[in-house]
Amino acid sequence: MTWSNNRRFLLPAVLSAILCATTAAHAQNEAYLAEQKALSEQLQHGKRLAEANCQQCHAIGIEGNSPHPTAPPFWSISERRPVDTVARMLLNHMKPEGTDMPTFQITEKQATDIATWINWVQPTSHGKRLVEANCGACHATGLTDESPHAEAPPFRELHKRYPIEALEEAFAEGIESGHPDMPVFNATVTQLSDILAYIATLSTEE
């Protein structure tokens, strides 16, 4: 099979918007910028490969159902296996038993870039990008950082204070109605659930 390199690639608007926002917040950090640039090249390459070779069966983006009835959407792969094993799986021509999934002639770089793309669309990665871009100006969004806004509670503290259902409600409300100094963020169902998926990791990774 051939890997098409001449397909036009269109980053979804939301993805580039998030990249820009993330980039702007760290404009002073050159190492970070170089890393982001390399990442975005990998992501674009990984996405092109997924479009050309996987998308006839798998949903390859952050949401949606697969065209193939038993092919898992890429955003759900982390429920089945650690995403960092995907590149190896492709390189070793392994595939789930008893399925029509083909194996691929694939280089190390191609496998890594597809895996990087698959990692990018996992709910927790998507949720992390969303909170960094939309909440990080005030709230601590990681495991050890401090909230830039003194009164904004670090998200990892919220998780300790509230049971998960109450937290979902607080987030849905906080996100959709806005709060002191905070612009309303009209989250989609997927964005909201991915933000919550990310917040949940802050408690399990302690």
Query: Cβ neighbours of residue 60 under 8 Å, at least 6 residues apart?
Result: 47, 50, 51, 54, 73, 74, 117, 121
Taking each helix axis from N to C terminus, what angle separates 30-53 and 13-25, rounded to the nearest 10 degrees?
Answer: 170
Choose the binding region for ligand HEC from 11-19, 25-33, 36-44, 54-62 (rule: CB under 6 A). Answer: 54-62
- Among residues 147, 119, 55, the alpha carbon closest in space to that of 128 is found at 119
Give the orientation angle of helix 189-204 with respect to helix 123-134, to 10 degrees.
100
CB of residue 115 vs ligand HEC: minimum separation in angstroms? 8
Q: Applying CB under 6 A, does 73 fall inside the site for ligand HEC? A: no
Among 21, 91, 182, 200, binds ligand HEC (CB under 6 A): 182
What would the x/- binding string for ligand HEC be over residues 139 to 178, using CB under 6 A? x---------x-xxx----x-----------xx--xx---
- Contact status: 3 vs ligand HEC (CB under 6 A): no
Burial of 72 (0-12, 13-18, 19+ CB in 10 A): middle
- Contacting residues for 151 by C-beta, under 8 A, at least 6 apart: 180
C-alpha span between 88 and 112 (Å, rounded): 8
Residue 53 interacting with ligand HEC (CB under 6 A): yes
Number of residues this chain uses to bind ligand HEC (CB under 6 A) = 41
Q: Does 19 bind ligand HEC (CB under 6 A)?
A: no
Q: How far is the CB of 122 from ligand HEC (least distance, A)?
A: 12
Q: How far apart are CA 103 and CA 90, in angstroms?
A: 7
Query: Under the phi-then-psi rule, with left for phi > 0, alpha for psi from -120 to 50, and beta for the rest, what region is 178?
Result: left
Choose, by CB under 6 A, the member of 17, 20, 39, 81 that binds ligand HEC: 81
Binding test (CB under 6 A) with ligand HEC, winner from 2, 13, 180, 189: 180
Q: Which residue in the set 23, 36, 63, 185 belongs to the binding site for ligand HEC (CB under 6 A)?
A: 185
In whole angstroms, how close is the CB of 164 to ligand HEC at the nearest point?
13
The footprint of ligand HEC (CB under 6 A) covers: 53-54, 56-58, 68, 70-72, 77, 80-81, 86, 90, 96, 99-102, 104, 114, 131, 134-135, 137-139, 149, 151-153, 158, 170-171, 174-175, 179-182, 185
